[in-house]
Structure 1
Amino acid sequence: MEIKTVIVDDEPLALEEMDFLLKELSDVRVVGRARNGLEAVDVVKKTGPDLLLLDIQMPGMDGFGVLKQILKKGRAPHVVFVTAFDEYAIKAFEFNAVDYLLKPVEKRRLAQALEKARRVLAGSGDRDRDREGGGDGRLERLLATLERKLEPPRKLTIKVGGRYMLIDAREIIYATVEEGAIVVVTDSLAGSSNCRTLDELQQTLPGDLFWRAHRSHIVNINRVREVLPMFKRTYYLKMADPKAAELPVSRAQISRLKELFRF
């Protein structure tokens, strides 16, 4: 049985790597690729895949938004998530019998996920595929569970001097690493996050609003004031904070930069 597969990931290198790994599997045929949520919905509609390898954290429409749009169409493929979420979130995937892959994706783990997909597809058949939401409602239950468990907290704790301030996540202009600490900057304050790493902080922020522009910082895309071209096709972001911070964009994120700001 051939497994028609669509890959969705906003990172070009991750997309290429997944495509390369899948081509080594004789019964898997990649029928479409997408680098953002809108493309993903369109590609799924056009190709009708059996399997969707779906990144969760993407600017604009994230993986959850993709699922919502697909469910509205009344016909959904089976889903394997590609995610950087923590163990607490992973339990939600396991509970709903949908597989997941942690980044960076290992060849062995991908093979296991595809074997599980084969078993699920062999047991579902066309009857389940034609019913709304992937047959037995697995996708609806998955989405409901994830939205409950993974909803970003309304408030984040920031230490400023000897005080602990509570801020709304959307107030953050950017977060960066300074001397091993995660520093969060808003219009009115700059303080240390209680998160240990930028990865941990990113998991608490709305995926449609915050972008990991560099390994050392996360930016609020609505608070970028200017894109500054630099030498050798590199770029800096001038932020809309009181000090007008200028933050570098990593070379790996330049294509995403151009997609986000359309230049």
Structure 2
Amino acid sequence: MPLRVLAVDDEPPALEDLTYLLCGDHRIGRVLAAGSSDAALRLLECEPVDAVFLDIRMPGLDGLDLMRVLRRFARPPAVVFVTAYEDFAVDAFALKACDYLLKPVGRERLAEAVQRVAELIGGGPPGTGGAPHTGRGADAADERIPVDLGGVTRFVSRDEVAYAEASGDYVRLHAAGRAPLVRVSLAVLEERWAPHGFLRIHRGYLVSLRHVEELRSDAGRWTVRVAGTELPVARRHTRELRDHLVRWAPASGDGPS
């Protein structure tokens, strides 16, 4: 079914441009518009939507606050932030936003965000999308993490991450040949990603079980190879890692042999 979306921006020209682009996407059947968070909430009382394309800096209730309200809905819409500011990408990640677009938004980049919404929603009717990152099941959908690369916000897919490495107050994500830093603790990632096949193996490392290639013991010292890199395994995590690898491989079909 065509998607029903709501665009929210307090600047009329920006709101007009955004609604124009959204209306031009064949996957969208209806576009509602609101000039403030309060107006958006009034609209949503009468017309549920699949996704909200939301500015962040607005007077009164800003975009981040509005998303916190939307998350309390019985059936929260997916949220795509559309903003001129890079500073809020980490906060958007923490709130599990579907995507994060920087103004001015091009048609191609917006189309990517719409595709992501469509995949998460799974083609259901308006208002049935669930939380922003629940498409193929409550814990199955991928998650994208905003990272700052030379002043440009890019996104790294959680499923691409082979392992995460603690680096002071940051975490370095090792994914597909890239290793960006993100401002989040390893403990937070461990809690969030444990249901998705990630396991803490050391105080400094969180690994994706699907990317584990080998587990080895040498004179009582355990190591694991992940995406071609050998990582230490703390003694207290060894048994848990072995048990998880045994369970993971038959279930996923693509775990270590």
- The TM-score normalised by the length of structure 1 is 0.45
Structure number with higher helix proportion: 1
